[in-house]
Structure 1
Amino acid sequence: MQNPQLKLFHNPQSRSAGVRILLEELGLAAEFELVDFKAPEKSPALLAANPLGKVPTLIADGVVVTEQVAIYQFLAELKPEAGLSPAVGEPLRGSYLRALAFYGSSFEPAMIDKALKRDAGQRGMSPYGDVAAVEQWLRSQLSVGPWFLGERFTAVDCLWGTALGWMTQFGLLEATAEISAYLQRFAARPAVQRARALDQALLAGQ
């Protein structure tokens, strides 16, 4: 089956950086529209696709896909032969979906609250409960290695590898031995290096 025509609203200094890496890992071609965060108004094309004006926003044959977890899952399943998305019935499938969902539902909210010095609130109302527990889960996950789910590199690593790079760079998360080793392995991947070089060229031509 032919892959859909893809267009990504993108800024390398945003959450969409990992999507660019995933596209490189999958060998999928896409059109990139650079979203200028310094522009006084959001791109009309972006707002038409996603009224929230957020990136990443993906259009696949005219169908809009937003939200990081949905985009990573959608793209990885376009190229099952790449092996970046465990298929239904595979033992790793549950852990894969959990790692994707945990990022958006627990980890990122916890890190944002931590950055803004906000209390998590009542446990019953908080999406994650306790920042320390979230960070401990992450460290224990990476201690198994070499990748987020163990021996197999998946789309999960494109999400977490990119996010942890930003989090440690800005001091929101301590670059422990487990996290540092993981980020070094991630940065050494050819697809990651290609994506980052392409993003640097995109910014240079802005």
Structure 2
Amino acid sequence: MADLVFFTNPMSRGQTVRWILEEVGQPYDTEILDYATTMKQEPYLSINPMGKVPAIVHKGKVVTEVAAICCYLADAFPEANLAPPPQDRADFYRWIFFTSGPIEAAFSNKAAGWEPTADKQRMFGYGNYDLAINTLERALSSREYLAADHFTAADLFVGANVNFMLNFNLLEKRPTFVDYAKRMTDRPAFKRAKEIDGKLIAEAQAAQAQPA
């Protein structure tokens, strides 16, 4: 068994972790979990009691949450050059966690058909959807890469989220977002990851279509 084990379902946020694993380029084993069964029972609940994917176990240490996994892998495998030097990580952390916090909350609530009223917006970290999205647009329009002069885990995480939101019509197709998503996902590692998960999805769908 590899030192690095990836727990996922191909139809999940695990696709982002698959991408960064392919960028890292180190051997890893994959455990595919089913939403209704293996994800909600032991032994997986000992890894993530939330019964959610993705998660990784690296040399016996568990990491959950996509943003945390991306930061961890960038540190654990510095040869992949997915993080700036520690003294230059202000933007790296800022935009990863802005996206995992305010942006995800804003688009999740909007997708669910709910937004805070004007008098309640101060209770929410993102204020309102337009404020969060416009802030992200300004960040992406002012530079080629978010946190360095090259692609990092910040671009991977933010790019994956922007690409997802565009594909599911959760984000207005502004030129800044469309261009950024295209540039970030036009990478061999992204294409390998999509091919792997695409095959897993097709296999699962074929298995479900077979008569009992």
Per the alignment, do residues 105 and 68 of structure 1 end up closer, same or farther by CA in structure 2, a change over 3 Å counting? same
Cα root mean square deviation, aligned: 2.0
Find out whether 1:97 has 2:93 as its counterpart: yes
More deviation in 99-108 or 81-90?
81-90
Q: Would the aligned equivalents of 1:141 and 1:148 in 2 still touch at CA under 8 Å? A: yes
Distance 2:188 2:38 in 1: 36
| Aligned counterparts of 1:73 and 1:23: Cα–Cα separation in 2 | 12
- State the TM-score, normalizing by the size of structure 1: 0.89
Q: CA deviation at 1:38?
A: 5.4
Cross-structure match for 2:5 = 7
The structure 2 residue matched to 1:112, chosen from 108, 112, 127, is: 108
How do 1:39-188 residues align onto structure 2 when only pairs under 5 Å count? 39=37, 42-90=40-88, 93-120=89-116, 122-149=120-147, 151-188=149-186
Name the CA shift for 1:160/1:147 in 2 (closer, same or farther; >3 Å): same
1-structure distance, mates of 2:91, 2:107: 21
One-letter amino acid of the structure 2 residue matched with residue 101 of structure 1: F
1:191 to 184, 189, 192: 189
Question: Which runs of structure 2 are paired with 1:10-49 in the superposition (5 Å)?
Answer: 10-37=8-35, 39=37, 42-49=40-47
TM-score of the superposed pair, with normalisation by structure 2: 0.86
Q: How far apart are residue 131 of structure 1 and its match?
A: 1.1
Paired with 1:160 and 1:205, the residues of 2 have a C-alpha distance of 29
Shift of 1:81: 2.4
Stretch of structure 1 that moved more, 169-178 or 79-88:
79-88
For 1:45 and 1:157, how far apart are their aligned partners in 2?
A: 33
User: How far apart, in 2, do the equivalents of 1:49 and 1:40 lie?
Assistant: 12
Give unpaired runs (5+ residues) of structure 1. none
Once residues 81 and 20 of structure 2 are traced to their aligned partners in structure 1, the CA distance between those partners, rounded to angstroms, is 12
Larger Rg: 2
Aligned residues: 201
Would the aligned equivalents of 1:15 and 1:163 in 2 still touch at CA under 8 Å? Answer: no
Change (3 A) 1:9 1:162: same
Q: Which runs of 5+ in 2 are unaligned?
A: 205-212
Fraction of identical pairs, as percent:
34
More deviation, 195-204/176-185: 195-204
Summarize deviations over 1:57-109 as a string: whole Å, max 9, x none.
Answer: 1111222111222111110101212221112112xx00000111111221100
Contact 2:75 2:83 in 1 (8 A): yes
Distance 1:47 1:31 in 2: 18
Greater helix proportion: 2
What's the CA shift string for 1:147-170, capped at 9, x where partnerless? 333632100122122212221111
Q: Which runs of 4+ in 1 moved over 4 A?
A: 38-41
